[in-house]
Structure 1
Amino acid sequence: MSEERRVHLSRSAPQAYQKLAAFSKSVGELTRESGVDARLAEIVQIHVSQRNGCAYCVRVHVDRALGVGIDADTIAQIATWRESGVFSERERAALELAESHVYIHDGGVSDAVYDRVGGVLSEEEYVALSWLLVSINAFNRVAIAGRYPVPPRGDEG
């Protein structure tokens, strides 16, 4: 990523960013109330951020995942979840839904994905996860457009 300075959207329009943060907080509450646990929420947010190419949000959500007790092996397996045996049926359904939200421009959430995911998650969980996915996709776009830096851990000063 280049060192070119970009407009920092959250600093340049703090009121808009605060609204996005408030939306995210509301979505987090909805997610918890629906029975979606922190592990599942962090797994899908990492995966969406990986797929979107948002290194900044990957860093944020890996740190949060570690904080809620997700081990390094599980985090490393997220990118290859289809081939990995470390995820539950519920997590696999959520990861599939997450990918559909990343590639929403390819015809939305297909009937096949909707049916598979709906066979595992309740409607309440589906709705909450969908809002969570809308939220993380929005944050990914803010960070990517602004080229938010992700320095090596030793250089964060």
Structure 2
Amino acid sequence: MSHVNIGKIYAAPYRAMLEFSAKAAEAGVDAGLSPLLVELVKVRASQLNGCAYCLRMHCADAVTHGETPERLAVLAAWWESQYFSAEEQAALKITERVTMIGDHGRLADRGVDVESILNEKQIAAVTWLAVAINSWNRIAVSSHYPVGP
């Protein structure tokens, strides 16, 4: 794959993506999602997509919002830990469903009943946030954004 920064070549779609991402963030605020939960969604999707650029950014943002090293360390296996609230577990389950949309038949249930934990607005907002971060992951990975110490 080439190392073309697609946002620099075609800035209009990149600007539209910024606007879309801002609207998804507004939905999260409107639905009452905590800033930390929003960052967990972004980190989990970025883990699944192998996006180092977004992982670096959103792990730092999560720490700014109070995230701990212990929780970040077990996020990739959140369902095997007791670190995450029911609301966070539901959001992470949605994130995995959206991120791995082609693998629904192989996704584990994780024992989380999303509809009994989150209301419709929260489910919709988390879904939009997951769609947005998945899009950013694809932009960053496809453009080979540099990630170094």
Q: When the two structures are superposed, what TM-score results if normalisation uses the length of structure 2?
A: 0.91
The one-letter code matched in structure 1 to 2:101 is I
Aligned to 1:150: 147
Q: Secondary structure at the match of 2:103?
A: coil
The one-letter code matched in structure 2 to 1:38 is P
> Which structure is richer in relative contact order (CA contacts within 8 A, separation 6 or more)?
2
Q: Secondary structure at the match of 1:6?
A: coil
Offset of residue 23 of structure 1: 0.5
The alignment-based identity, stated in percent, is 36
- Write the distance in 1 (CA, Å) between the matches of 2:127 and 2:119: 12
- Write the distance in 2 (CA, Å) between the matches of 1:5 and 1:134: 25
For residues 41-120 of structure 1, what are the structure 2 equivalents within 5 Å?
41-107=38-104, 116-120=113-117
Aligned to 1:36: 33
How many equivalent pairs are there? 146
**Structure 2 CA distance for partners of 1:147 and 1:99, relative to 1, 3 Å:** same
Offset of residue 98 of structure 1: 0.8
Q: Greater helix percent: which structure?
A: 2
Q: When the two structures are superposed, what TM-score results if normalisation uses the length of structure 1?
A: 0.87
Offset of residue 107 of structure 1: 4.0
Aligned to 1:155: none
Offset of residue 5 of structure 1: 6.2
Q: Which 5+ residue runs of structure 1 have no aligned equivalent?
A: 153-157
Q: Which 5+ residue runs of structure 2 have no aligned equivalent?
A: none
RMSD of aligned alpha carbons:
1.9
Q: Deviations for 1:31-79, whole angstroms, at most 9, x for unmatched residues?
A: 1111111011001110000001111111110111111111221111211
Q: Secondary structure at the match of 1:81?
A: helix
- Write the distance in 1 (CA, Å) between the matches of 2:147 and 2:12: 24
- Write the distance in 1 (CA, Å) between the matches of 2:42 and 2:59: 9
- Write the distance in 2 (CA, Å) between the matches of 1:10 and 1:20: 10
